[in-house]
Structure 1
Amino acid sequence: MTGKDPQPREGQQAHRQDLRVFRGVEAWVFDLDNTLYPHEANLFAQIDEQIARYIQKILDLPPDEAMAHQKALYHEHGTTLRGLMTTHEIDPDDYLRFVHDIDYSALAPNPELGHAIEALPGKKFIFTNGDRPHAERTAAALGISDHFEDIFDIVSADLIPKPNRETYEKFVDRTGISPARSAMFEDLPKNLHTPHLLGMRTTLIVPKGSRDVFQESWDLEDDRYAHVDFVTDDLTGFLKAVLGALK
């Protein structure tokens, strides 16, 4: 690429590449939790507590043992749901209803984010390990529901969560997107490995104020984050910078 690189403001800085690599993107794919809303909203903390309560209920465990069992299942199987289905044959619909029975009042409409998403050229999707009702309620609380073509949830993925490659392949098959002309936004680095391999531009969303901390680990010689093209702690600001680079 030639010419002077765009210079995003603080909180929008791309670490590795020129933002003009987003030119030609026709599909914009967003994770939901801790991506479309800020980590500090603590919405996922409520879900985490509900998961522990669910395990307490079905396995008759005290709170501390339920939490420990939850974490063990998550690390072994990718999601607690997958672990419970594998080891305890639970009803996934019952689980999803229970764990997403949370208070959404911590979320407020974000018209600035909505305007930025709406302005992106092409189609926009939500791709989540949660379920569709949770994604719909979250998007409604943020005031951004109308800007998405579709929601690809854990049920659409046949209950196989990210970062399993087959889940991304199902997403691509269902939506008909071209990965080489797509971009993905996620809060978990492991969930960007496959999108990177498929040819997507990848952006990691980190908690507010932690971008510089991530930058320190980014500079390690082993480069554990080679699959992450950009990092930001301000999704709205980053999207505005991308839009500026597309002009």
Structure 2
Amino acid sequence: MATTNGDRAKPAVVFFDCDDCLYKNDWRVANMITEKIESFCSDRMSMKPGHAYELYKKWGTCLRGMQQEPSIYFDDDMLEEYLHHAHDIPLHEHIGPDPELVAMLERMDPTIPKYVFTASVKHHAERCLELLGVGHFFEDIIDVRAVDWVTKHDEEAYVAAMKIAKCDDPSACLFLDDSVSNVKTAKKVGWRTVLVGKHHRDCGSEIVCEEADHAIHRIHELPDVLGHLFVEDAVPK
């Protein structure tokens, strides 16, 4: 794993990914979203089966691919239809209150602003945070609209997130995400990184990510690796 001289320094801002990071449920939500995206692309866009995944691999998200591929007609009306269709899933059946997460966030240094930084859209992240019971801990949600549709595979997304958080020092940004690709890009920008999840989604093998300063199985283990970010006598929010 990567090492950083400022590992013990207090970050100026902490960015949390949402899906499969703040919560984990064996990728059930992720799989449902993937199925919804595939159905939209095949039914609405008349793409061949599997082409949505090809766009994802090439561009970082299927959405970005549809926006960038010149052969695909994808206007603003389709964009809104796509976003609604992809996220129209019964989240309440798969995400519920997480008292352990609440307790952890209550103990985090209250002087450090916290943001949700998601490749998804704001209304989806808001639903997730509400179900978890943790929305009030975050300053805001930085979603794909807020970074002008670039993906978290692109360094521009991290530069945009810093501007929103009013932080101009990459080394003062702490980033938690389950995606190795996202962690690698964040490290290129100069952020401190924590990989949340140690096993690959498809094969279950252990993840090796040299760009991660720390790796944990679940977000709840953050105090085990960065204990200086937490105070024992924090007042519940």
CA distance in 1, matches of 2:105, 2:224: 9
Q: Report the Cα offset of residue 60 of structure 1.
A: 3.2
Tell me if the contact between 2:177 and 2:195 (Cα under 8 Å) persists in the aligned partners: yes
CA distance in 2, matches of 1:77, 1:228: 22
CA spacing shift, 1:75–1:213, aligned 2, 3 Å: closer
CA distance in 1, matches of 2:188, 2:15: 15
Aligned length: 220
Residue 219 of structure 2 is aligned to residue 235 of structure 1:
yes
Which residue is 1:32 aligned to? Answer: 18
The SS at the match of 2:15 is strand
TM-score scaled by length of structure 1:
0.80
CA spacing shift, 1:228–1:241, aligned 2, 3 Å: closer
Tell me if the contact between 1:179 and 1:195 (Cα under 8 Å) persists in the aligned partners: no
More helix by share: 1
The SS at the match of 1:185 is strand
Which residue is 1:117 aligned to? Answer: 105
One of 57, 60, 64 as aligned partner of 2:46: 60
CA distance in 2, matches of 1:141, 1:245: 25
Tell me if the contact between 2:187 and 2:211 (Cα under 8 Å) persists in the aligned partners: yes
1:76-91 matches, cutoff 5 A:
76-87=58-69, 88-90=72-74, 91=78
CA distance in 2, matches of 1:184, 1:123: 12
Structure 1 unmatched runs, 5+: 1-14, 219-224
The SS at the match of 1:28 is strand
Structure 2 unmatched runs, 5+: 232-237
Question: What per-residue deviation string (whole Å, max 9, x for no partner) do you get for residues 173-205 of structure 1?
Answer: 121123222210011111112322333220111
CA distance in 2, matches of 1:56, 1:144: 36
Question: What per-residue deviation string (whole Å, max 9, x for no partner) do you get for residues 132-162 of structure 1?
Answer: 0000001111111000001010111111111
Which residue is 2:196 aligned to? Answer: 205
Q: Please report the RMSD computed on the Cα atoms of aligned residues, expressed in angstroms.
A: 2.6
1:177-196 matches, cutoff 5 A:
177=167, 178-196=169-187
CA distance in 2, matches of 1:54, 1:22: 46
Tell me if the contact between 2:174 and 2:192 (Cα under 8 Å) persists in the aligned partners: yes
CA distance in 2, matches of 1:143, 1:240: 22
CA distance in 2, matches of 1:244, 1:190: 27
CA distance in 2, matches of 1:176, 1:149: 12
